[in-house]
A = this chain, B = another copy of it.
């Protein structure tokens, strides 16, 4: 069955964590709002606010698989992980991967809030002073804490992946986090990467996987930009 991914067409955003899983799995999927020559936005917005949908999503991304409509990034990955062999079958390990994914989700919220600390309804320019304060805290305190945590997780697993030798969707997401942080906060990352060799090794290993490498080189991979979650505003790095 062909998956339908619904997400904003011009950003990586949270949809990218799902795209990476679909790509690594070699799954048959369509990125609805990005279909060439067709405007997929109405279809997305219909499902989002649709009165006929039994389980309406709160926000994109969401994934359609037959009659099933699934929202919330970590939840989509929980579903895909089981179906596409990107998660372990055993309960305790499956919960551990979900736990790591939720910790990554926490980091993603915090990375987003560096440029939108006051309101998602205001432009960055209207909250850039507060953004500077929040970004300073994020790069000085939160990034080291999160990266130190994942480094420790990899130390205990023995690497290269969070579960050891077998890749999971959480590894793909951790790759994306490194990509995003490098784009948004290159100075802070240069400083922190020295202390996170295992996380960087994981990043490089994921990037070199044939399907991921092909995806990253394709037009399907949207470039980072200042509409997404990870944004590069040089002034936020002090």
Contacts and interface: CB of A to CB of B under 8 A. Distances in A.
Interface stretch (A148-156, A168-176, A186-194, A219-227): A148-156
A118 B117 contact: yes
B99 A152 contact: no
B141 A106 contact: no
A57 B99 contact: yes
A95 B118 contact: no
Given A54-B156, A56-B156, A156-B54, A118 B99 contact: no
Interface residues of A, number: 39
Interface string A145-183: 010010011001000000000000000000000000000
B130 A117 contact: yes
A208 B152 CA distance: 44
B134 A56 contact: no
B98 A72 contact: yes
B92 A71 contact: no
A123 interface: no
A122 to B, nearest CB: 8
A39 interface: no
Contact of A102 (B68, B74, B103, B141): B74
B79 A95 contact: yes
B149 A58 contact: yes
Interface in A89-125: 92, 95-96, 98-99, 102-103, 106, 109, 113, 117-119, 121-122
B58 A106 contact: yes
A51 to B, nearest CB: 8
